[in-house]
Amino acid sequence: MKILYAIQGTGNGHLSRAMDVAPALEKHGQVDYMVSGAQADLALPFEVKYKSPGLSFYFGQKGGIDISKTFNNNSSKRVLKEIKDLPVEDYDLIINDFEPISAWAARAKGKRVVALSHQSALLSSKCPKPKSADLIGKSILKNYAPASVHYGFHFDAFDKNIFTPIVRRSIREKANLDYGHYAVYLPAYSDAKIIKTLSKIKGVDWHVFSKHTKSSYWQDNVRIEKINNDKFIHAMTSAKGILCGAGFETPSEAIFLGKKLMVIPMKGQYEQQCNAAALQKMGVPVMKKLGSKRIPKIQDWVDGNQRLSIDYKDETQGIIDKIIEFESKQA
């Protein structure tokens, strides 16, 4: 079987999951990889055959997406050409993790696409949603990377074809310690904003991993560190708590590790608003934004010991086997 595995490359979560999905897929045939998007910081352990800027969202520094940069760096002419040129017809199976070029190329050429992503789970009416409606956000989730069938990952198996998170082996195999510090990943905020807020929480070392710095340094009790996967894994697995955006992979790993967790969903990002709604329902504290007015809430979180711990089982190979078996019958 010849398989195309297409992965969204904006941010690190999709690529982190791909590191575990890839070897499970390779047991079923020849796998070619496609990555589109920008602002990922992970080096992949496999060769990427197709690379594309894709349709990328760019992080700002005020808690949300940089709309201007996102608009200016996405060319519709380029995207249409890439969709036309991608040889999806050469593959027996297309697995898609929220990657738009391959999804639209397959739709244009009448090829079946299997979506395997966190975003697929959010399409289910049984998954928690934010109180305020976001018709644009819902439309993006549905149409950004269209698929023939959806398999999703979420913090809980809220519906059929929704699985609990894939926790990467590098987290599973690492010793789970508590050195007393707090690991922070808030890529949509500037270093200055993070330092100004977190430095007010005394008696705590904050290890902040930043997309906005070219060098590592301390300011007061806040350590600003360049993005480095190995260092981030070490900081997470040895932390007392984790403060991060309401993405999917980092909160999932924090829950698996049983770390104290607090999340801040990105402004205008429907996926993160959905994640925050689910996490809040599960007992995880959620803040609307980072700022001086939230210092008492952060202080209460630091002083307390509220934590959620779920031993997410390693079911990656079984999930892939199930999908392959079903898709083989569709041919």
Instruction: Return the SS3 of 40.
Output: coil
- CA 100, 101, 103: angle at the middle one, nearest 5? 60
The amino acid at residue 115 is: A
pTM beyond 0.75: yes
Whether the Cβ atoms of residue 28 and residue 118 lie closer than 8 Å to each other: no
The total of other beta-carbon atoms located within 10 Å of residue 90's CB is 10
The pair of three-digit structure tokens given for residue 261, joined into one six-digit string? 């967790």
Helix axis angle for 249-257 and 13-26, nearest 10°, is 80
Cα–Cα distance for residue pair 279/182, rounded to 1 Å: 19
DSSP string for residues in 257-325? HT-EEEEEPPBT-HHHHHHHHHHHHTT--B-S--SGGGHHHHHHHHHS-----------HHHHHHHHHH
Cα–Cα distance for residue pair 194/317, rounded to 1 Å: 39
The amino acid at residue 164 is: T
Residue 214: predicted pLDDT: 92
Place of tokens 């890439």: 82
Place of tokens 């689910």: 278
Max Cα distance, the chain (Å): 61
Whether the Cβ atoms of residue 231 and residue 225 lie closer than 8 Å to each other: yes
Domains of the chain: 2-164+314-330 (3.40.50), 169-303 (3.40.50.2000)
Q: Mean pLDDT per segment of 10 residues, for the chain of length 331 residues? A: 94 87 97 84 84 68 51 70 96 96 96 97 95 85 93 97 95 96 96 97 96 94 94 97 97 98 94 97 97 96 96 96 92 66
Could you tell me the end-to-end alpha-carbon distance of the chain, in angstroms, rounded to an integer?
11
Residue 40: predicted pLDDT: 58
Cα–Cα distance for residue pair 208/225, rounded to 1 Å: 6
| Partners of 226 in the β-ladder | 210
Residue 186: CA count within 13 A, CB half-sphere: 34
The total of other beta-carbon atoms located within 10 Å of residue 35's CB is 22
| Partners of 264 in the β-ladder | 245
The kind and range of the H/E element at 23 are: helix 13-26
Ordered strands of the 114-117 beta sheet: 50-52, 30-36, 2-8, 93-97, 114-117, 149-153, 162-163
Instruction: Return the SS3 of 120.
Output: helix
| Partners of 36 in the β-ladder | 8, 52
The kind and range of the H/E element at 232 are: helix 229-237
